[in-house]
Every structure is written in C-alpha cells, then in structure tokens.
Amino acid sequence: MSSLQFEGCNFFRMRIILSTLSGKSIKISTIRPEEDDPGLTDFEVSFIRLIDKVTNGSKTVISETGTQLIYRPGLLLGGKLEHDCHPSRSIGYYLEMLMCLAPFTKEPLHAVLRGVTSDKDDPSVDLLKLSVFPVLKRFLGTDEGLELKINKRGAAPEGGGEVLFTCPCRQKLRPLKFTQPGKIKRIRGVAWAVRVSPAFVNRLVDSARGVLNQFLTDVYIYTDHMKGSQSGKSPGFGLTLVAETTEGAFLAAEDVCSARGSGEAPTVPEDLGRKTAIALLKEIHRGGCVDSTSQGLTALLMVLGQQDVSKVQMGELSPYTIQFLRHIKDFFQVTFSIKVDKKPVATKSDDPNEEAEELKVGADKLILTCVGVGYANVSKPIR
C-alpha cells in the first residue's frame, strides 16, 4: 500500500531487504543512468533472483532500460534453496543480506550458495561466520541450527566455491543489551589458500603473528588449504582474523590477495598477513561490541525485536551503517539514540586530586539505543 522512492543503485540490497521485512513496496530510479552500461548489473539481478527464491509472492518490475526498479515484497518463505551467485560479487554480498532475513522465514533456511567465497569488496564467508554469527546468536538465543559450512572455496574471479548456510527461524527476537565489550583475550583466524602452494598459508600466519604477538600471546590461526574439487576455479589466498573479548564480542578483519586478471600487482603473502593484522588492530581501534561488518545487522535486528529497549555499544559507525540507520528510519520510523560512551578510566590511586586516567581503547565508542517495533514473524505458521 504505502510505497517508498529511492534513487541510485547504492544501498540496493539494503532497500530490498528492508522492503521485504517491512512490507512496504519500493521504487528505485536512476540506476546508473550515465554509465556505459546503464541499469542493473548482473549481480544485482542475481540478488533479486535470490530474494525471489526466499520469498513468496514478491514482484519485481524492471524497466526496459534497467534504470528503474519497482519491488513489491512478498512473504519470507525460507526452506531449502540453491542459488548460483553471480561471480562479479562474492557470496558475502548475498549472504550478508540473507542473514538479515533468515530469522523471519516460514521454515528454517537451508541455503546452498555457489560462487566466489571471498573477494576484495565484500566480507568473505569466513568473516561473516566469525563476526556476524556471534551477533546473530545473541538475537536468536541459541546457535542451534545456525551454521555456515564452506564446502568449497572459490577465489575471484571465477569462483566455484560453495557454502551451506542454515539458520533457524523465530517468532520473535530477543532484545539485545550489550554495552560492555570486555577485553580481548584471544585472537583466532583462518588462513586459506586454493590452487597455490600450501606454503602460502604458513607464510600468512607467520607474518600476521609477527604483528599480533606484540599485543597478545594467545594467537592461533588455522590454516585451510583446500585441494582438488574443493578448491574452486581460480587461485587465491586470504586471511581472516578475529579477536574475541572476555564478554564474547568478536571483532574481525580480513584481506585477500588480488584476483587473477584484475590488473593489480600480485600479492605477497607476508604483506597480506601484516596488512590483515593491522586491519584487525584498526578494527580493535574502532572497537565496540560488534565490529563494523555486523553493525548494520545488529541495528536492524535491534529494531525488529519486541517493544523493548535494546542497547549496544559500537565503534564508530561505518558509512554503510549510517545509511542503514537512515533507511531503518525510512522504513520503520525508528530513530536510534546515539551517544558517545564515556571512556573507561583506569584504576586510580587514592589521591582525589589527580585526574583519572582514561584507558587507551581506541576511538570513540557509541551507545546505540532503540526501542524495537514489536516485529513478529508473520510467516511462521502455528498449528
């Protein structure tokens, strides 16, 4: 009935899933009108196809030039589905949004996605598993049935990877109260390589450890060198690191080698390892209870909770999250209260005159608070 209008192809996925969740239809116009190949691209179409598989009764009308799209959402269906993701974007592009929808389906989602498992633009499947899953678990209550299995790895550009994502569905989500991130107690990670020398992973691990061991001794990076049919079509390697805190917050960062044929210089594993480690440190610098990848999802699921106050600490908001918050306001009329959390102060001595020393925990931490809209999963049947 009520419809929202947007312009441009940016934040395309976000609009589609928010529309699906809120039931409001959307119209997106001026999609790349001035480019050489105007209109929707393959990966966006592939994303729409995926949404079409997950939902029942959704209707998409794309104009002849492809620069305009009208989407009328249906109800979320879930169940078993398979999708060949277009390899111009990695599976993370699709999976990220699927994770937002998965708790509200009619049947538990069991999705097999094929394509590129990690590339430069999107979070890889490893990253999603390490950083988003803990957040999702807090909203769902348990992680029973929540799984992301990497059957095959496929590096860009050709892909050939396959992941299995399963997620239980819920009638209602739990409100989140997560304001104390705690301190980082361990660092874990996955170094993976396909169709390159197995020594690459060890080189990655060594260089990353070289950086991280200055902060913490408890660093363990798993190596994952996939062979044969599991190794996809293109060569590649990458590293995903995650820092776990005492309170169960996970901050993750990753990097992958430049894709073959991308025109960039070939990546040296040592450089990559070091770069990733620094990226992780930057993520830690940003801090918060959820990392930058899952900020958007966290905000969304907070809004889609019951009519209770949810509170979470985050690091500085990424531009993507900011847009997410704006869109949430458009679709759900929910405004977040965003406050800067006061910095923790170190234990001070008994001299009252001396100023309490602030702890060095990186950038500003924000407290995001919102009241849920009382969203209930209308798809799930009762007997």
What residues from 124 to 153 belong to the interface with another protein (CB under 8 A)? none
Minimum Å gap between C-beta 207 and another protein is: 13
Q: Does 79 bind another protein (CB under 8 A)?
A: no
- Tokens 């930058």 correspond to 292
Minimum Å gap between C-beta 143 and another protein is: 19
- Tokens 């600490």 correspond to 313
Buried/exposed code over 67-99 (b: 16+ C-beta within 10 A; e: otherwise): bbbbbbbbbbbbeebebebbbbbbbbbbbbbbb
Which residue, 32 or 86, is less far from another protein as judged by CB?
A: 32
Which residue, 63 or 307, is less far from another protein as judged by CB?
A: 307
Which residue, 226 or 256, is less far from another protein as judged by CB?
A: 256
Tell me which residue of 321, 318, 349, 351 sits closest to 336, measured CA to CA: 321
Q: Give the per-residue contact string, 4-43, with another protein (x = CB under 8 A; - = no).
A: ---xxxxxxxx------xxxx-----xxx-xx--------
Q: Give the per-residue contact string, 248-287, with another protein (x = CB under 8 A; - = no).
A: ------------------------------xx-xxxxxxx
Residues in the interface with another protein (CB under 8 A) total 109
In the set 116, 211, 272, 289, which binds another protein (CB under 8 A)? 211
In the set 137, 177, 209, 260, which binds another protein (CB under 8 A)? 177
Which residue, 132 or 226, is less far from another protein as judged by CB?
A: 132
Q: Does 210 bind another protein (CB under 8 A)?
A: no
Instruction: Give the integer Cα–Cα distance in Å for 181 and 175.
Output: 17
Which residue, 58 or 267, is less far from another protein as judged by CB?
A: 58
What residues from 100 to 129 belong to the interface with another protein (CB under 8 A)? 106, 121-123
Minimum Å gap between C-beta 208 and another protein is: 13
The answer to whether 154 and 161 have CB atoms below 8 angstroms apart is yes
Which residue, 52 or 84, is less far from another protein as judged by CB?
A: 52
Tell me which residue of 273, 261, 305 sits closest to 138, measured CA to CA: 305
Length of the chain counted residue by residue: 383
Minimum Å gap between C-beta 280 and another protein is: 10
Instruction: Give the integer Cα–Cα distance in Å for 290 and 132.
Output: 8
Q: Does 176 bind another protein (CB under 8 A)?
A: no
What residues from 56 to 75 belong to the interface with another protein (CB under 8 A)? 56-58, 73-75
Q: Does 311 bind another protein (CB under 8 A)?
A: yes
Tell me which residue of 142, 159, 180, 156 sits closest to 258, measured CA to CA: 156
Q: Does 203 bind another protein (CB under 8 A)?
A: no
The answer to whether 207 and 241 have CB atoms below 8 angstroms apart is no
* Strand arrangement of the beta sheet that strand 161-167 belongs to: 78-84, 107-115, 161-167, 147-152
Instruction: Give the integer Cα–Cα distance in Å for 181 and 134.
Output: 13
CA distances from 164 to 17, 127, 133, 146, 161 (A): 20, 15, 14, 10, 10
Which residue, 181 or 226, is less far from another protein as judged by CB?
A: 181
- Residue 342: strand, helix, or coil: coil
The answer to whether 54 and 105 have CB atoms below 8 angstroms apart is yes
Which residue, 19 or 234, is less far from another protein as judged by CB?
A: 19
Which residue, 236 or 372, is less far from another protein as judged by CB?
A: 372
Minimum Å gap between C-beta 227 and another protein is: 29
Q: Does 293 bind another protein (CB under 8 A)?
A: yes
- Cross-strand pairs, 290: 250, 314
